[in-house]
Structure 1
Amino acid sequence: MSDVGQVGRTRGGRYGSVYVAVTALLCSLVAVGLLAFAGLQLPRTVERDRALKEAVPCRSVPREPADCLWRQPFTVTAIHLWSGRRGDGIHATLISPGGGKWRTEFRNDGPVLSGLDEGDRVTGTIWRGRLVRISADGAVQVTENSPDALPESIVALLVVCGPSCLVLAVACGWRLRSPKERGWRRGPKLTAALAAGLAGAGLIAALVALKFGLPLWAMSAIWLPLAALASALAIAVGRQTPQERQTVPVQKTAL
């Protein structure tokens, strides 16, 4: 190989190493940030959820935000049942008996909102000055103001991004062991593919759980077999892929 080609390969290896190092650093920061976010927000949200479940009905109309539950009828208007490109989201406007308007957002359109028309009546539950639930015909649906809806979103973010970012950081760190090589060897390449598989498994688990309103533990229950399948597939491919062969330079003998 000529000197020019050797210099180009060395520069390409250096640039690739810098790119991989930056990717590994970003993935590690994202994973650590998610864990820190969950550590700060999840206990607080769970505490609010426990306070809501232990709240008792109010004895009279609360004049300021209170820890008790106040239920009153609302008239439904301005129903929007899909998330538009402009980020409108799923929402409806509820009108109280006194004429006050409550713009209420929802995570999905069921089981109550999808069966309503403008002018229908629902019963709303107010807690700490926020409308947290609506009910009609025996069905109950929580709003985005309810702490019931927040833990699922945090867990979904962790399931989708947490494991995949950690595995991708491992793959990048593995790749950095050979900084002068331009390509990826089998080990780090399969590890990066596993990170993509774990992200896909987390996305599927989050979408299924959020779509059907499953409980908090359902995301992990759905993610675990999918992650095991992705790991088994990566191991199987790794065992079937031949090892990289090292090229031994052939020395020319003088005649």
Structure 2
Amino acid sequence: MLPVAPSRILRSAVASVLALVCGLAMVGGSAYALAVNLPDGDRENRAYLEAEPCASPPGGSADCLWEQEFTASDIVTERGRGARNELTLTAVDDPRFQTRTHAPRSILRRLEEGQKVTGTVWRGLPREITAGGDPGRTGHYPVDQRRNSLFLALILAPGGLVVTAVCALRLVRRRAPTRPMAAALGLGLALPVAGLIMPMFLGDLQDRWWGVLLVWSVLAVLMALTAWVSATYTSPERVEESAPGTDLRD
């Protein structure tokens, strides 16, 4: 639930202006992220994918790929919002080479304490691990910032556009807000929440664009239907109490 009812926000010109600024900030933030990261946001990711295998064991951080055996320990697998799915990787031939990293839960739940895994090392960090023939990316895997920017725009831009449009209309009209306006504002403020709760439903789909888009679309449609019902539904009791021709809008 929203801490302040959308209808209360729209009744106040000051609150409407503040909400308008928030809407513009959401749209501007997503636009900035796209403008900065879309042109070359995959530089590190592309460098990793184009890296060649090392001819000999690297003495330290190197731009070539090297496969190394690690021991998995301190494995944590959780579900739900804010869940941790991580483990500690310790190099078998050099116990000083140890790192704590995230990994897919689908792989972690099949690992046992002390189990050996094969890691692909690039620039001094294990970027991928393979256990039982199943590969998975670690938290050190080079992130494609273009994808993150698209996710950010998906979360912020729709809600920001709705909030901006509703608040601008309210300020231009200079009249009491209608129920559809309040419902639309509630939808605009609630849409970013879908981005916060998405990890609860994504599971192993979080690395797949189509999975994120699917879950987001389902949550957005459910929220839009809720807003539509809120804007159009009138209880039977209210209809009976209202005189003929009375406008039932807030």
Q: Which residue of 2 aligns with 1:129?
A: 124
Higher deviation after alignment, 130-139 or 190-199: 190-199
Partner amino acid for 2:19? T
- Check the 8 A contact 2:194/2:219 in 1, yes or no: yes
User: How far has the Cα of 1:154 moved from its partner?
Assistant: 4.2
- Measure, in 1, the Cα distance between the counterparts of 2:105 and 2:9: 52
Q: Which residue of 2 aligns with 1:9?
A: none
* CA 1:244–1:100: 2 relative to 1, 3 Å: farther
* CA 1:218–1:79: 2 relative to 1, 3 Å: closer
Is 1:105–2:98 an aligned residue pair?
A: no
- Measure, in 2, the Cα distance between the counterparts of 1:244 and 1:64: 78
Decide which of 196, 206, 211 is 1:218's aligned counterpart: 211
Cα deviations by residue, 1:220-245 (Å, 9 ceiling, x for unpaired): 24434654565566567656779984
* CA 1:43–1:92: 2 relative to 1, 3 Å: farther
- Check the 8 A contact 1:156/1:206 in 2, yes or no: no
* CA 1:21–1:213: 2 relative to 1, 3 Å: closer
User: How far has the Cα of 1:173 moved from its partner?
Assistant: 1.3
Q: Which residue of 1 aligns with 2:187?
A: 194
> Which gives a bigger RCO, structure 1 or 2 (Cα 8 Å, sep 6+)?
2
Cα deviations by residue, 1:107-147 (Å, 9 ceiling, x for unpaired): 54222x22212211000111122211111111111111112
Q: Which residue of 1 aligns with 2:156?
A: 161
- Measure, in 2, the Cα distance between the counterparts of 1:207 and 1:42: 27
Partner amino acid for 2:127? V
What CA RMSD, in Å, does the superposition of the two structures yield over aligned residues? 3.7
- Secondary structure of 1:147's aligned partner: coil
User: How far has the Cα of 1:44 moved from its partner?
Assistant: 4.0
What pairs with 1:1-255 in structure 2 (closer than 5 Å)? 16-82=12-78, 89-96=84-91, 97-106=93-102, 108-111=104-107, 113-148=108-143, 153-179=148-174, 181=176, 184-196=177-189, 198-199=191-192, 201-202=194-195, 207-209=200-202, 211-224=204-217, 227=220, 230-231=223-224, 234=227, 245=247
Answer with 1 or 2: which has the greater Rg.
1
- Check the 8 A contact 2:105/2:204 in 1, yes or no: no
Q: Return the TM-score normalized by structure 1.
A: 0.72
- Measure, in 1, the Cα distance between the counterparts of 2:84 and 2:140: 14
- Measure, in 2, the Cα distance between the counterparts of 1:209 and 1:104: 23
- Secondary structure of 2:75's aligned partner: strand
Cα deviations by residue, 1:180-212 (Å, 9 ceiling, x for unpaired): 64xx21342232133256445555655434543
Structure 2, unpaired ranges of 5+: 1-7, 240-244
Partner amino acid for 2:106? G
Q: Return the TM-score normalized by structure 2.
A: 0.73
- Check the 8 A contact 1:14/1:180 in 2, yes or no: no
- Check the 8 A contact 1:68/1:127 in 2, yes or no: yes
Structure 1, unpaired ranges of 5+: 1-11, 247-255
Cα deviations by residue, 1:50-105 (Å, 9 ceiling, x for unpaired): 222222211112224322211110111222223899x8943222111112242232
- Secondary structure of 1:32's aligned partner: helix
- Check the 8 A contact 2:79/2:200 in 1, yes or no: no
* CA 1:146–1:81: 2 relative to 1, 3 Å: same
* CA 1:102–1:152: 2 relative to 1, 3 Å: farther
Q: How many residues align?
A: 231
